[in-house]
Amino acid sequence: EPEVTQTPSHQVTQMGQEVILRCVPISNHLYFYWYRQILGQKVEFLVSFYNNEISEKSEIFDDQFSVERPDGSNFTLKIRSTKLEDSAMYFCASRLGGYQETQYFGPGTRLLVL
Amino acid sequence: GENVEQHPSTLSVQEGDSAVIKCTYSDSASNYFPWYKQELGKRPQLIIDIRSNVGEKKDQRIAVTLNKTAKHFSLHITETQPEDSAVYFCAATNQAGTALIFGKGTTLSVSS
């Protein structure tokens, strides 16, 4: 069964550094999402992406964040200048579209900002 | 925007008992309500979902009910097993229908 994949599984970075988190959504899916989960807390929506553009973003997704679909398979989340509070698990999700509303989550990237 | 409240935050049951987790949502435009199970350090995995034109849905030991008027929905697990132990999250689509807004989660512990 196809799955969403994410790399790396863990990333440690220094405050102020840029990080890029990578995702490969399920191949025929059209909608892509990033969520984050701070340790012990709920999953929070960051951004949704469809037809090569952002369709919606939350208040968490400020100017430090950007997303890109650089080719036909990858979907990336960039954090330009990381802060301590960006430490979290970042999940990518994808959805087929149309009447198929199920979002399938990747395994996550655990980001630690020191 | 959409807000989802989930109760209880922790739930401990004996193997074989039933477990019920309840959620309320604020946005009457929400029309899709999934439940995810998350084991420690793993991804959230969909276990059941319901759409707003349906009042109840069942899949083996798991059922979900939706009351649109009251804006609440519930997860019911019967004949619980130790492997049901996990964190369960309810979610609802936001007004734009693109994002999932999650509850804070319920940690279910099933003891044998």
Distance, CA of A37 to CA of A43 (rounded, Å): 5
Percent of chain B whose predicted confidence (pLDDT) is above 70: 100
Give mean pLDDT, residues B90-103: 88
Pairwise CB contact (< 8 Å): B98 & A55: yes
Most confident range (mean pLDDT) of A17-21, A70-74, B27-31, B41-45 is: A17-21
Pairwise CB contact (< 8 Å): B51 & A101: yes
Mean pLDDT for all residues in chain A: 94
Structure tokens at B61: 């030991």
**CA quadruple A9, A13, A16, A18: dihedral positive or negative?**
negative
Give mean pLDDT, residues A80-109: 93
Chain A residues lying within 8 Å of B105, measured CB to CB: 42
CA distances from A60 to A50, B46, B89, B95 (A): 19, 24, 20, 17
